[in-house]
Amino acid sequence: MRNFAVLGISCWSGFMLMALELLSGRILAPTFGSSIYVWGAIITIFMLALSIGYLIGGKLSMSEPQIKVLCGLHLLSGLLLLPILAFEGPVLDGIFDYTQDPRLGSLIASVILFFLPAVVCGTVAPYAVRLLVKDHKDAGFYAGLQFFFSTSFSAAGTLLTSFYFVLIFEVNQILLLLMGMTIAMATTAFLISRRSA
């Protein structure tokens, strides 16, 4: 049950991250358009944020990793969607007043709005691997297993968001759904881990 909870968090973290990345294009489009410059800025910031998150998650996992910490990181990644909901309008307006250049504007907006949640999502993967590994001989298998599930759910998040969610819901409704599911997943995983402890 403990491993199931860890993998569940990994799966939803991957789903949420890719859904957020796709939605970020919709969020920036009214202000800066949806050109290759905007998407280049979004993808760059998400990749940099993930790389930093991987380092932080790996470092955190070195000292007695606990599932409650993983649940806390996952919970935080969901709560960090709230500032996007609350401040996207004023942030984008302020940046547009500063620069109308879609390259610089979308880069600054991506850093302000999406960098922190993507960093925290990045911490989940290495921390989850460390929780799964009990014997160093099994490390490769569990790393592969974790990345298989999280990447599969990333693909699902990409497909469902781009093909269905954006046609049915408004962007803010999808963000609220992602935030609610992330909080629910973190809470459920924590309760499962306590029960199986």
Per-residue pLDDT tens over the stretch 113-162: 999 999 999 999 999 999 998 888 888 898 898 889 999 999 999 999 99
Is-contact 72 183, C-beta < 8 A?
A: no
Short-list 18, 36, 4, CA closest to 196? 4
Confirm whether pTM is higher than 0.85.
Answer: yes
pLDDT digits (tens, 9 = 90+) for 16-35: 999 999 999 999 999 999 99
Q: Which fold has domain 2-196?
A: Growth Hormone; Chain: A; (1.20.1250)
Across 41-50, average pLDDT: 97
- Summarised one tens digit per residue, pLDDT across range 58-103 is 999 998 889 999 999 999 999 999 999 999 999 999 999 999 999 9
More confident residue, 174 or 142: 174
Reference 177, options 43, 30, 11, 19; nearest CA is 19
Spatial separation of the C-alpha atoms in residues 118 and 131, rounded to whole Å: 21
The full set of domain ranges for the chain reads 2-196
3-state secondary structure of 170: coil
